[in-house]
Structure 1
Amino acid sequence: MSAPPDRPSSALAATGPDSASGRAGQVTAGRDAAIVVMIGVASAMHVGKLPVAIPALQQSLGLSLVEAGFLLSMVQVAGMLIGLFIGLLADRAGPRRVMLGGLVLLALSSAAGAASTSVRALLWSRAGEGLGFLLAVLPAPALLREVVRQPKTLSRALGWWGAYMPAGAALAMLLGAWVIGWVGWRGLWVLLGLLSAVCAGVLWRCIRVGPAGHAVSGFGVRLLRTLRSPGPWLAALGFFLYSVQWLAVVGFLPTIYQDAGFSIGVVGGLSALAAGINMSGNIAAGRLLARGAVPGLVLVVGYVAMGLGAALAFGLTGQPLWQYAGVLLFSSFGGLIPGTLFGLSVSLAPSQDTVSTTVGWMQQWSSLGQFVGPPVVAALAVWAGGWHQTWIATGVCALAGVGLAVLLQRLWRRRGASA
């Protein structure tokens, strides 16, 4: 079966707010944006499927706590090593084409993980999932830019895009416990592999943009232009300081609560709410930026809330209600950070043909944080004999994030990027 012919970006069809073609273009752009966000959610489920499966993997494969930390972070290896170069590829080949390849790789790697009989084999499959995940999600902001052309609408769409990770993690945690109880952890891997294959088909059939290959300048020129600009560096470090905390805290929630004696169903529900509530901050960030909010202030609020939330969650030992309230504060307001940084990614890019490259650099540092965070926190918990010292590590990251937000705000004002 042949693919439908390429059509111009749907948002380009809009000739005016009152014209029929304009309204139709806006509707199509909204549909395309929703598809892109849903693809991100489905891809993020591969990241979120592991936390709720750790107890089952410990029984099935003899997984240790530190090995669980590496499994949590292994999916980020590709982003940590080659995120910038995937961004360069997406700027050259086109975001849609790269996303298609990533979804296919996700499906194949998840199937390979389902067939794993050792921790080593599962680690390799997670590395494949990491590369597929990166290819599937990194070009998405550039694709959103192609299908949504109105600046305020784009800011809101990017805010929704910023919620793809918590939404996918929450769904995987909420449904994963039920699926594991029904068909085991291998069945969960198979089902999510099939979901990625379906997403590839939807992207191929439903979203058609102009010819791939939008980059005007060469590979090396775009690389140097990105790395010589302060905007991508500040955004990347901001993502690092956020992600090093978030996955370490939320990723180990199922293990923490199961060790405390909660049933797997309750554990899944509590963990899903903690991950899913992060969406509220991402979406709020997009709306705030669309209404002209100061991005540096939004970032400061996010980092401060993460520091306070982690202090409550891990400092108030023996008070589960207050601890869980701290987790919700940590995750919900923390969502302001990725929502803001994704919203700024278009204006922080040094040129129009380096948007995916800038996002790739951000993703590379975000992946580094997610790779480093879980093993470090797990090792800290083993050394301290519990989770009560975790808030110190997250607090240091939150304090550094506040300082970085001030620097980013100064740059934003100098560049006049109020749009």
Structure 2
Amino acid sequence: MSQRVASASTADRFVRYRWWGLLAISLGVALIIMDSTIVSVAVPAIVDELGISSTEIQWVQEIYTLLFAALLLTWGRMADRVGRRRIMLIGIVLFVVASVVCALAGSGAVLIFGRALQGLGGSMILPTTLALLNANFRGRERGIAFAVWGSTIGGMAAIGPLAGGWLIEHASWRWAFGINVPVGILIVAGLLLFVAESREARGAVQRLDLIGALLSIVGFGALVFGLIEGRSYGWWAAEDAAPFTVGGLSPIPLAFVLAVDALAAFVLVERARSRAGRGVILDLSLFRIRSFANGNVTALIVSFGEFGLILSLPLWFQNVLGFTAFEAGLALLPLAIGSFVASGAVAALTKRMPPVVVVRIGLVLEIVAIAALALLIRPDSTGWLTSPALFVYGLGVGLATAQLTSVVLADVPVERSGQGSATQSTARQMGSALGIAVLGTAFFSTLASGTADRLAAAVAEQPALQGLIDSVTASSGGSIASLADDPRTAFVADAARAAMTDGTALAAWIAVGALVLGLLSSLRIKPAAG
């Protein structure tokens, strides 16, 4: 009898303090998003202190994304089986331990190992945050919860560089990882105190689909590897950086072939196991839910446009406008403010219109804002010029990202919310990786070709200038400042600034095109109240 009373009291506490639970869950999302953006700002300081190679620093950034995207589906399914809160708690603890490894790293190899562990922990956190929201909130409260979740992603993507820049200037790059320890402790306490456990019914638990898990890991891992390494290793013919070649062929086409084969096999295996009544990693019948199927397609396209642009803007602020890392973070702050303002407006909007309509309003705001950035930015721009557009962009992200998640999961049964959440997260990760690959290629290609074209006549007279042009591309624009400081090479810096501005504008226009497609795709989603 006493156990029943205690259980009832605990359940009542979880319901009463569910909004505190939302805070803990949102902090979990903030942890993994902010960490990835902080690391991008910390790269120069890491290189200076550890003296690691360009290949090692590339893997410091990319091993995280690779493991994170490859394991989302597997952990989403595991969370349904063994408990979503439990998997999130394990992921948080692993992420914190990995952060300590990174903070204490004395070599590139140790740092890469720590980042790999962070990717593993992050892949356990993201899908479980969505599944827990889906299980613990209903109706319009669910829409508000997803709004906070989505605004956290948009806001942290902007706040990360600001926090990273401050830590690097006033402490050390090691604190970019060390800050995760106290935040992780807060999240663990919040989850235990305020978030109820949820899992599928015991009678529904079936043997784990190990073959499906392996195929999904290989398929999505190879796909993300190809997307993020294509520019470095060569999309077809092998570049010098390629680790191996096959008759002059880059490993990237082989990675895409492996991805297609593994994912095709994954679909066949999942379909066969589902027909036989056996456990699956992904229940393909979820795609019979129109809001889920169309919503995931829209989420992939939108993520392509939304997060690919985050790659070029910080580089443009620092290398063209001459901002410090901290100042670049301040310049991005209007995006975060707009995102958080949007989360406060969602409750009122969803009382008047369906969530999918809110998604469309957000996408329109994003399209207008990014188009304005593409039209207005110049090599002599100021942060004040970009702030209004970034604020409107943040409003759009806060409305579209959160409510799109609500739309995708609205009709997914709670007992399958882990699978549904992981699928939605995987779609977003694929879109983000594709956006970074395409927009990054457009940005860096324009930087290289634009600088070379502007200096073609000068190079014809002084061939030695070609080395300076190559240094601009190799450093992702980082050498522009030193070139500008020398009156003899200032004209090279001016050409590079103009080329980088053109590259940023081109990336913005591609993002606009992707978001327009996302808006058109959202028209296929039938409006329904959240």
Is the TM-score greater than 0.5?
yes
Please state how far the C-alpha of 1:213 moved relative to its aligned partner: 4.4
2:442 partner SS: helix
Give yes or no for contact 1:65–1:378 (8 Å, CA) kept in 2: no
**What is the one-letter code of the residue matched to 2:315?**
T
Please list every run of 5 or more consecutive structure 2 residues that lacks an aligned counterpart in the other structure: 207-278, 448-499
Aligned residues: CA RMSD: 3.2
Task: Summarize the alignment of residues 16-415 of structure 1 with structure 2, pairs less than 5 Å apart.
Answer: 27-57=16-46, 59-60=48-49, 74-116=63-105, 122-149=111-138, 151-204=139-192, 206-207=193-194, 209=196, 212-214=199-201, 217=204, 218=206, 219-220=279-280, 223-259=283-319, 260-285=321-346, 287-289=348-350, 291-318=351-378, 319-320=381-382, 321-349=384-412, 351-385=413-447, 386=500, 387-408=504-525, 410=526, 412=527
**CA distance in 2 between partners of 1:73 and 1:216 (Å):** 40
Distance verdict in 2 for CA 1:89–1:301, change over 3 Å: same
Shift of 1:279: 2.7
- The answer on whether the counterparts of 1:300 and 1:401 sit within 8 Å (CA) in structure 2 is no
Q: Flag the 1:364–1:52 CA change in 2: closer, same or farther, 3 A.
A: same
**1-structure distance, mates of 2:334, 2:87:** 32
Contact persistence 2:131–2:417 (CA under 8 A): yes
Q: Could you tell me the percent identity over the aligned residues? A: 19
Residue 18 of structure 1: aligned partner: none
Distance 1:6 1:198 in 2: 24
**Alpha-carbon distance in structure 2 between the residues aligned to 1:358 and 1:47:** 24
Distance in 2 of aligned mates of 1:246 and 1:197: 31
Which whole-Å CA distance do the structure 2 matches of 1:277 and 1:94 have between them?
34
* Equivalent residue pairs, number: 394
Instruction: Confirm or deny: 8 A CA contact 2:332 2:390 kept in the other structure.
Output: no
Distance of 1:119 and 1:403 partners within structure 2: 45
Quote how far apart the aligned CAs of 1:324 are: 3.8
Q: Residue type matched to 2:523 in 1?
A: V
Q: Which segment drifts farther, 317-326 or 391-400?
A: 317-326
Q: Contact (CA 8 Å) 1:76, 1:370: kept in 2 or not?
A: no
Judge conservation of contact 2:143–2:355 (CA < 8 Å) in 1. no
Deviates more, 1:357-366 or 1:51-60: 51-60
Note closer, same or farther for the CA distance 1:312–1:211 as it changes in structure 2 (3 Å cut).
closer
Could you tell me which residue of structure 1 aligns to residue 462 of structure 2? none
**Alpha-carbon offset, residue 101 of structure 1:** 1.0
CA, structure 1 residues 300+208, in 2 after alignment: closer, same or farther (shift >3 Å)? closer
Q: Shift in Å at residue 86 of structure 1?
A: 1.9
1:93 deviation in Å?
1.4
Q: State the alpha-carbon separation in 2 of the partners of residues 337 and 403 from structure 1.
A: 14
Retained in 1: the 8 A contact 2:83–2:197?
no
Q: Deviations over 1:176-227 (max 9, x none)?
A: 22221232111221222443244224423x1363575447544329623224
Q: Tell me the TM-score normalized by structure 2.
A: 0.66
Note the alpha carbon deviations across 1:301-336, whole angstroms, 9 max, x for none: 222322222222233232434334323322321221
Q: Once structures 1 and 2 are overlaid, which stretch shifts more, 73-82 or 378-387?
A: 73-82
Structure 1 unaligned regions, length at least 5: 14-23
TM-score (norm 1): 0.81
| CA deviation after TM superposition for structure 1 residue 403, in Å | 1.3
How many Å apart are 1:92 and its aligned residue? 1.4
Cα–Cα, structure 1 residues 362 and 305, in superposed 2: closer, same or farther, change >3 Å?
same
Structure 1 distance, partners of 2:343, 2:43, is 27
Distance 1:71 1:390, change over 3 A: farther
Q: Find the residue that maps to 1:38 and give its secondary structure.
A: helix
Q: Give the residue type in structure 1 aligned to 2:363.
A: Y
Give the corresponding residue for 2:250: none
Shift of 1:36: 2.2
